[in-house]
Amino acid sequence: MDSQRPFLYLSLLFLGFLVWQAWQTDHAPPPPVVEATSGNPAVGSAQQPVSVGADVPESSAASVSSQAVPIASAPAVSNATLVHVKTDVLDVTISTRGGDIVSLKLPSYPISLKQKDTPLEFLSAEEPYIAQSGLLHDKTGINAASRAPNHYAIYENAQSSYELTDQNELKVPLRWISEDGVAIEKVFTFRPGQFVIDVDYQIQNGSATDWVGRQYNQLRRGEITSESSMLAPTSYMGGAYYTGKFEKLKFDDMQEEPLNQTVTGGWVSMLQHYFVSAWIPSSAEQSSKLYSKVVSGTTGNEYILGMSSADSNLIAAGQTGSFSSRLYAGPKLQDDMAKLIPGLELTIDYGIFTIFSKPLFWLLSHIHGLVGNWGWAIIFLTILIKVVFFKLSEASYRSMAKMRKVAPKIKSLKDRFGADKQGHQKAMMELYKKEKINPLGGCLPILIQIPVFIALYWVLIEAVELRQAPWALWIQDLSIKDPFFILPVIMGVSMFVQQKLNPPQPDPMMQKMMMAMPFVFTIFFAFFASGLVLYWVVNNLLSISQQWYITRSIENEGK
Q: Quick: pLDDT tens for 339-359.
A: 999 999 999 988 888 889 999
The pLDDT value given to residue 47: 31
Helix axes 390-405, 444-462, angle to 10 degrees: 130
Torsion (CA) 113, 114, 115, 121 in degrees, nearest 10:
-60
Q: Which of 52-61, 136-145, 325-334, 454-463 has the highest mean pLDDT?
A: 325-334
Is residue 44 domain-shared with residue 96, that is, in the same domain?
yes
The pLDDT value given to residue 439: 62
Label residue 78 exposed, middle or buried (CB < 10 Å: 0-12, 13-18, 19+). exposed
The pLDDT value given to residue 116: 87
Residue finishing a domain among 344, 377, 410: 344
Is residue 362 domain-shared with residue 319, that is, in the same domain?
no
Is residue 340 domain-shared with residue 363, that is, in the same domain?
no
The pLDDT value given to residue 457: 84
Chain mean pLDDT for the chain: 81
pLDDT tens, position by position, 508-535: 777 677 778 888 888 888 888 899 899 9
| Sequence-separated (6 or more) residues with CB below 8 Å from residue 211 | 137, 139, 147, 148, 182, 203, 205, 314, 315, 317, 321
Q: In percent, how much of the chain has pLDDT > 70?
A: 78
- Measure the CA–CA gap between 367 and 356, rounded to whole angstroms: 17
- Encode 516-531: b = buried (16+ Cβ within 10 Å), e = exposed: ebbeebbebbbbbbbb
* 128 preceded by a cis bond (ω within 30 of 0): yes
Is residue 525 domain-shared with residue 431, that is, in the same domain?
yes
The pLDDT value given to residue 447: 72
> Binning pLDDT at 50, 70 and 90, where does residue 182 land?
very high
pLDDT tens, position by position, 24-41: 444 444 443 333 333 333
The pLDDT value given to residue 446: 66
Is residue 321 domain-shared with residue 444, that is, in the same domain?
no
Q: When comparing pLDDT for 395 and 376, which is higher?
A: 376
Is residue 308 domain-shared with residue 366, that is, in the same domain?
no
Is 34 part of a structural domain of the chain?
no
The pLDDT value given to residue 558: 53
- Measure the CA–CA gap between 52 and 153, rounded to whole angstroms: 11
Is 85 part of a structural domain of the chain?
yes
The pLDDT value given to residue 75: 43
| Sequence-separated (6 or more) residues with CB below 8 Å from residue 55 | 48, 132, 151, 218, 220, 293, 295, 302, 304
Is residue 330 domain-shared with residue 380, that is, in the same domain?
no
The pLDDT value given to residue 278: 97
Is 27 part of a structural domain of the chain?
no
The pLDDT value given to residue 33: 38
pLDDT tens, position by position, 272-294: 999 999 999 988 678 899 999 99
pLDDT tens, position by position, 198-216: 999 999 999 999 999 999 9
The pLDDT value given to residue 147: 80
Least confident of 166-175, 474-483, 494-503: 494-503
Is 4 part of a structural domain of the chain?
no
Mean pLDDT on 253-263: 91
The pLDDT value given to residue 38: 32
Q: In percent, how much of the chain has pLDDT > 90?
A: 46
Least confident of 90-104, 356-370, 427-441: 427-441
Is residue 277 domain-shared with residue 410, that is, in the same domain?
no
Q: When comparing pLDDT for 146 and 78, which is higher?
A: 146
Is 266 part of a structural domain of the chain?
yes
Mean pLDDT on 79-97: 96
| Sequence-separated (6 or more) residues with CB below 8 Å from residue 345 | 334, 335, 337, 338
Mean pLDDT on 454-480: 90
Q: When comparing pLDDT for 463 and 552, which is higher?
A: 463
The pLDDT value given to residue 553: 74
Is residue 196 domain-shared with residue 314, that is, in the same domain?
yes
What domain count does the chain have?
Answer: 2
Is residue 288 domain-shared with residue 424, that is, in the same domain?
no
Evaluate if residue 62 carries a pLDDT over 50.
no
244: left (phi over 0), alpha (psi -120 to 50) or beta: left
Residue finishing a domain among 313, 344, 375: 344
Label residue 178 exposed, middle or buried (CB < 10 Å: 0-12, 13-18, 19+). buried
The pLDDT value given to residue 71: 32
Is residue 332 domain-shared with residue 377, that is, in the same domain?
no
Residue finishing a domain among 322, 344, 366: 344
Is residue 71 domain-shared with residue 180, that is, in the same domain?
yes
Is 152 part of a structural domain of the chain?
yes
- Backbone φ and ψ of 295, nearest 5°: -125, 160
The pLDDT value given to residue 113: 85
The pLDDT value given to residue 557: 64
Evaluate if residue 136 carries a pLDDT over 60.
yes
> Binning pLDDT at 50, 70 and 90, where does residue 11 land?
low
Collapsing DSSP to helix, strand or coil, 84 comes out as strand
CATH number at residue 327: 2.70.98.90
Instruction: Give the domain extent around 196.
Output: 40-219+235-344
Is 225 part of a structural domain of the chain?
no
Is 10 part of a structural domain of the chain?
no
> Binning pLDDT at 50, 70 and 90, where does residue 464 land?
very high
The pLDDT value given to residue 2: 47
